[in-house]
Structure 1
Amino acid sequence: MSPSRKLCVYCGSGNGRNPAYLEAARALGTEMAKAGIGLVYGGGSVGLMGETARAVLDGGGHVTGIIPTFLASRERMLTNTNELIVTNDMHERKMTMFARSSGFVALPGGLGTLEELAEISTWAQLGQHRKPIILCNIEGYWDPLVTLLDHMRAEKFIREGMDFTMDVVKEAKDVVPAFERRLKLSPEKVPQEILISKM
């Protein structure tokens, strides 16, 4: 049975240079399965994507893979997920991931991960959703992005009334508690003017 809480994980289709990234993907998947939180992800079997999905499955958790047709072979589609959705294009993939998720987390990744995180944050900024957004900053991987967001705020491009909520955690084990804490806040209790919350 599909769980009511599902976390969409954005992450790399490669392993990255630092072994800590792969370890974090594995740890996040394990913690999600323990907490009964389903995984929604990009559907691949390689890199951090595949490692997260396999860890959730190994822990008895629920995995929904969503992948566009043109990436099915390139990212070596993981076929033993609980649900596998093949979309026509990237736009349909991202909208399906959004619709099926209760929140979002970004592990280390490349341009695709950054683009997905930026888009979901923009939608939050524009008031299109209030779902939790968590940045998993393993060994400072996302420090340049955090600095850039602070700079955007200082330069008034992220200005009053246009801010959004993003929790920044340093370890994979902190993602589930941050996600669950944020879910407990009703929309009325979530501050509009939150700056990045670093834990």
Structure 2
Amino acid sequence: MKKLTVYCGSNKGKDKKYASAALKLAEEMAKRELDLVYGAGNVGLMGVIADQMLQSGRKVFGIIPQKLVDIEVAHTGCTELTVVETMRDRKWLMAERGDGFIAMPGGIGTFEELFEIMTLNQLAYISKPLALYNVNGYYDKLIDFLNHSVNEGFLHQSQLQVLIISDDPVQLLDKMEAFQPKKMDKKEIDKWEVK
């Protein structure tokens, strides 16, 4: 891994633990000489992690639609700022440029990005590590729901097992670095069908 795509909120959340965790993740990424790919915002947790990565001397690749540039939320200090036309273009470039993905606490946009990467991995369009940075138990209820989906037969256990979950950035990155890409074949896809 050389570059990680990090999805996170354009707000900082009510608890200061979220911003603190973003700083810790950035510091650990910098120690491992990893660069950041993200949505190019200068606000919320997006701004926190980008600023810390830049301060640590790492490269920050921001990708943002023109519409958001127009309302002045683009981080102009990015090492490289790519302005695209649509949110779809933004998401695809972020998926393409990252060697792995981390979903930090965030809102509906972060949820959408998380599930899109889960889907792309599941269908073998990509094969890259995906992690939930479960700061302050933020994703506990989502994890419960995903397990519920397994229990109800809409998600296969093997699809859920590839999701790396931790509240510790060291452990999170260790597990991502140990990730082994899985080759998908028809037999594997057939196993997902609930009989």
Same topology, TM > 0.5: yes
Q: CA RMSD in A?
A: 1.9
Where in structure 2 are the equivalents of 1:29-178 lying within 5 Å?
Answer: 29-74=26-71, 76-159=73-156, 165-178=162-175
Unaligned runs of 5+ in 2: 190-195
Report the residue type matching 1:187 in the other structure: K
Q: Give the Cα–Cα distance (whole angstroms) in 2 for the partners of residues 162 and 180 of structure 1.
A: 19
**Matched residue count:** 185
Runs of 4+ more than 6 Å apart: none
- Between the aligned residues of both structures, percent identity stands at 40
> Which ranges of structure 1 fall in alignment gaps of 5 or more residues?
194-199
Question: Of the two, which has the highest radius of gyration?
Answer: 2
8 A contact 1:121–1:164 mirrored in 2: no
CA distance in 2, matches of 1:162, 1:51: 31
Q: Counting helix residues as a fraction of each chain, which structure ranks higher?
A: 2
Please, what TM-score do these two structures have when normalized by structure 2? 0.88
Q: Distance in 1 between matches of 2:55 and 2:157?
A: 44
Is the contact between residue 106 and residue 134 of structure 1 (CA under 8 Å) also seen in structure 2? yes
**Contact kept? 2:41, 2:47, Cα under 8 Å:** yes
Instruction: Between 167-176 and 14-23, report the one with greater CA deviation.
Output: 167-176
2:33 counterpart letter in structure 1 = G
